[in-house]
Amino acid sequence: MRTVMVNTTPGYPVLIGNGILQELVGEYKKKFYPRIPIVVSNQKVFDLWGEELVPVLRQVGWKRGYLIIVPDSEEAKSLPVFADVIKRVADLDKDRKSVLIVAFGGGVVGDLAGFVAGTYRRGVPIVQIPTTLLSQIDSSIGGKTAVNLPSGKNIVGVYHQPALVLIDVRFLSTLDIKQMREGLSEGIKYGIIRSPDLFTYLEKVEGMSFDWEWFVEECVKIKARVVSEDERERKGLRFILNLGHTIGHALEIESNHRFSHGQAVALGMVAAGYISLIKGIGSEKTLSRIEGVIDKFGLPKRLGYNVNEDRFWNALVRDKKFSGGRFRFVLPRRIGSVLVSDDVEEREIRSSLDFIRGGI
């Protein structure tokens, strides 16, 4: 088993391994006893892996009545679902004993459960047990929790760090190729922002023959370092984790989620690479390498359709990364090094949109 510490306030361990669910028992006895574990999951994940988790939970006093199933879609990250879940938590916590939230699922479950944990009784502990590659290497770590509004993603939320993240790479065995690509998009991002070695590994690995424990650990180390140095994004460093997300989020909304999050971020990274090139910050070689590894793993590097520009711009200016009339971008200088810039002009964004549309 591998352990990565996230040095926030308070800090917490990320445990990584194959077949490590049993570790939850010891961690519970050390840190959480006698809290009542309440599991938030979705039906698909619980049907696949519930039989593995239930015997472990029973060792810490869990009963099946303390299971809350939420929709298996982005719909779960909504205010109505949040209100329903937090009411059910309160109902289960009848005598006001302290509770422990256990998020068992992908990023949607983790974001929703984290927001519930951060707001119920002004904050209760949460254990993240992420089951997708995307949530294992990204969303389960860092304490960002939120739900969506019709006007945009992650608009309502709080920072609430988990007390423990337990990553069992066995869960990856039931993911389809589309779900794996979602996670790899974020892995590519980590290589671009902080790790030439990780990026080179992605360029050289054959197919999907990954050393998953090593790969997950490397990604987690990068996320943990950035989050530890800038927990609440007050220093500007944590913003580098948004590479590809400025245009990516706008494309998700513009396309009515025709593109998944990972696909949209991949397109956003290509667009950011192109903006970096035309501003003289990056190089053609860097852009070519980014496009090459995105293409290698079946992620889109071109749109393949004509964007509704009014809808795109409306989404872009509603994004949290648009402030004071300026767009904030993470721009690659070279593999392993990026620049945060508030000096990206509208014409440069339009040019990058033409580029990923295939018009340049």
Q: What is the model's pLDDT at position 218?
A: 98
Q: Do residues 201 and 179 touch, judged by C-beta distance below 8 A?
A: no
CATH number, residue 295: 1.20.1090.10
Q: Which one is predicted more confidently, 9 or 103?
A: 103
Find, among 158, 61, 148, 72, the residue nearest to 102 by Cα: 61
Residues pairing with 41 in the sheet: 69, 104
* Residue that finishes a domain, picked among 151, 174, 197: 174
Q: What does the chain come to in residues?
A: 360
Are 52 and 154 part of one and the same domain?
Answer: yes
Residue 24, pLDDT > 90, answer yes
pLDDT tier at 179, thresholds 50, 70, 90: very high
Q: What is the model's pLDDT at position 122?
A: 93
pLDDT tier at 242, thresholds 50, 70, 90: very high
* Residue that finishes a domain, picked among 130, 149, 174: 174
Lowest average pLDDT, out of 16-20, 307-311, 336-340, goes to 307-311
Q: Do residues 48 and 174 touch, judged by C-beta distance below 8 A?
A: yes
Q: Which amino acid is at 326?
A: R
Q: For the chain, what percent of residues have pLDDT higher than 70? A: 98
Are 275 and 253 part of one and the same domain?
Answer: yes
For 98, the 3-state DSSP assignment is: coil
Are 145 and 246 part of one and the same domain?
Answer: no
Tokens 């969506």 locate to: 148
Residue 27, pLDDT > 70, answer yes
**Which structure tokens are listed for 182?**
């979602």
Are 214 and 150 part of one and the same domain?
Answer: no
Q: For the chain, what percent of residues have pLDDT higher than 90? A: 81
CATH number, residue 91: 3.40.50.1970
Are 24 and 130 part of one and the same domain?
Answer: yes
Residues 6+ apart with CB under 8 A from 85: 40, 68, 70, 112, 113, 116
* Residues with catalytic function: 122, 144, 186, 223, 233, 238, 242, 245, 249, 261
Strand positions, DSSP E, the chain:
2-6, 12-17, 36-42, 67-70, 99-105, 126-130, 144-149, 152-159, 164-168, 322-323, 326-334, 337-344
Q: What is the model's pLDDT at position 236?
A: 81
Domain of 219 in residue numbering reads as: 177-357
pLDDT in tens, 213-232: 999 999 999 999 999 999 98
Are 110 and 244 part of one and the same domain?
Answer: no
**Which structure tokens are listed for 37?**
């574990």
- Residue 340 sits at φ, ψ, to 5 deg, of -90, 125
C-alpha angle with apex 181: 301 to 297, nearest 5 degrees? 55
Are 236 and 311 part of one and the same domain?
Answer: yes
Are 184 and 257 part of one and the same domain?
Answer: yes
Q: How many domains does the chain have?
A: 2
Are 37 and 80 part of one and the same domain?
Answer: yes
Are 165 and 233 part of one and the same domain?
Answer: no
Q: What is the model's pLDDT at position 157?
A: 95
pTM confidence score: 0.93
Q: Which one is predicted more confidently, 196 or 313?
A: 196
Residue 320, pLDDT > 80, answer no
* Residue that finishes a domain, picked among 174, 209, 229: 174
pLDDT in tens, 53-82: 999 999 998 998 999 999 998 899 999 999
Residue 318, pLDDT > 90, answer no
Are 265 and 140 part of one and the same domain?
Answer: no
Q: What is the model's pLDDT at position 186?
A: 96
Instruction: Tell me the average pLDDT across 235-249.
Output: 91
Are 133 and 181 part of one and the same domain?
Answer: no
Q: How many CB atoms lie within 10 A of CB 350?
A: 13
Q: What is the model's pLDDT at position 233?
A: 84
Q: What is the model's pLDDT at position 151?
A: 74
State the Cα–Cα distance between residues 108 and 74, nearest whole angstrom.
6
State the Cα–Cα distance between residues 193 and 225, nearest whole angstrom.
12
